[in-house]
Structure 1
């Protein structure tokens, strides 16, 4: 039993010695002579110097007056697209729905009654929010309606004149003093709007 105890003590002492050596080695890797901290270093022209990489520093130049005006105009356009795109989106859904129903209604009087009921719903839903828009936002809305429906507001009115009262669309044009014949060119004049629309669609999950 005594021999076993001696062996146990010897093994314990061995473990302690190993641990002490391990910690001593770690201490030596962190501290130098007189307990000074060791740091990365480089040799430059024969001298050893401390070395450390600094974080990247970004420097932005002041915008020119022209750049500030361009940024202000872009911000204004972006805000207008964010405000009006949901209405243009809704307009395309309603337009396509009306068109699909009219294609299935051969009777002229029934078509007229159906369109009148839908126009009433449109006025009830959109008149107040649309009249709260600015003139600039209204012009952007015209562009977006052309984008979403594939037709200018003028074409929409022309297609349904006589069977579809286009008062809703005309009132929008009148309020905002915009052209009903505005087209949409995603690859040309309206490329900036298209970029913003993609941002809106991605953010709010429009598909």
Structure 2
């Protein structure tokens, strides 16, 4: 998946080998934890340390719907660490480039980052399927607030971004794809998968930079959501 790989050549970094377990914080005598049952706040203290969701049991109208959901879950959990990495490395890269004023040195630094990632992680990124690649593009937007296209354009140049997007279209992937769980049902399912994985410690939580509330999303979609076809 060259179009996905290119982005990671630019941002730099390393692929985490495992996911950290989310440790539960013990509550002291003067504060309580806010407990939310997807849509309804049960307990809210004056001092809320964090939020936790108690999720309802998943229900499916058919075996095929159930199968499609679990396929979507497997792919989402697989590519999320890459999107999380993108957000982290983007901040690091921008900080580093900000301290390098010379254009030639900036280009040299970027190329060194590209070479490092190419040698270490190219084969792993190339193994992503078409649907995994598209989910990754959406999650990059969730974590950074920018499309993969815009990130490439900002860090390299507009012609490269156009060319990579055109190449991606040959594989039915758009690197201009955004993430809108408040408008698109599949995006909501992806968000729901992430929240469930965070609560179980399967994935390390990283807050989205986008402006939406999962509690409100649940209330909006709970009566209409159907698992999409892959």
| Shorter-normalised TM range | 0.5 to 0.7
Match of 1:72 in 2: 67
Q: Which structure has the bigger radius of gyration?
A: 1
Indicate conservation of the 8 Å contact 2:165/2:176, yes or no.
Answer: no
Q: Structure 1 residue 94 and structure 2 residue 89: aligned? A: yes
Match of 2:106 in 1: 111
Q: Structure 1 residue 205 and structure 2 residue 204: aligned? A: yes
Indicate conservation of the 8 Å contact 2:165/2:174, yes or no.
Answer: no
From the two aligned structures, give the one with the greater helix fraction: 1
TM-score, normalised via structure 2 length: 0.54
Q: Structure 1 residue 138 and structure 2 residue 133: aligned? A: yes
Q: Give the alignment partner of residue 195 of structure 1, picking from 192, 195, 206.
A: 192
Q: Quick one: distance in 2 between partners of 1:176 and 1:201?
A: 31
Q: Quick one: distance in 2 between partners of 1:171 and 1:129?
A: 23
TM-score, normalised via structure 1 length: 0.59
Aligned-pair CA distance for 1:104: 1.9
Q: Quick one: distance in 2 between partners of 1:141 and 1:120?
A: 22
Aligned-pair CA distance for 1:146: 1.3
Q: Quick one: distance in 2 between partners of 1:193 and 1:133?
A: 17
Aligned-pair CA distance for 1:156: 0.7
Q: Give the alignment partner of residue 85 of structure 1, picking from 80, 83, 90.
A: 80
Indicate conservation of the 8 Å contact 1:105/1:111, yes or no.
Answer: yes
Aligned-pair CA distance for 1:174: 6.9
Aligned-pair CA distance for 1:177: 3.6
Structure 1: where are the runs of 5+ without partners? 1-62
Q: Quick one: distance in 2 between partners of 1:78 and 1:87?
A: 15
Indicate conservation of the 8 Å contact 2:72/2:190, yes or no.
Answer: yes
Superposed counterparts of 1:16-165, under 5 Å: 67-162=62-157
List per-residue Cα deviations over 1:74-110 (Å, max 9, x = no partner): 1111000111111111122112211121122211011
Indicate conservation of the 8 Å contact 1:139/1:176, yes or no.
Answer: no
Aligned-pair CA distance for 1:194: 0.8
List per-residue Cα deviations over 1:28-73 (Å, max 9, x = no partner): xxxxxxxxxxxxxxxxxxxxxxxxxxxxxxxxxxx75xx3332222
Indicate conservation of the 8 Å contact 1:143/1:182, yes or no.
Answer: yes
Helix, strand or coil at the partner of 1:179? coil
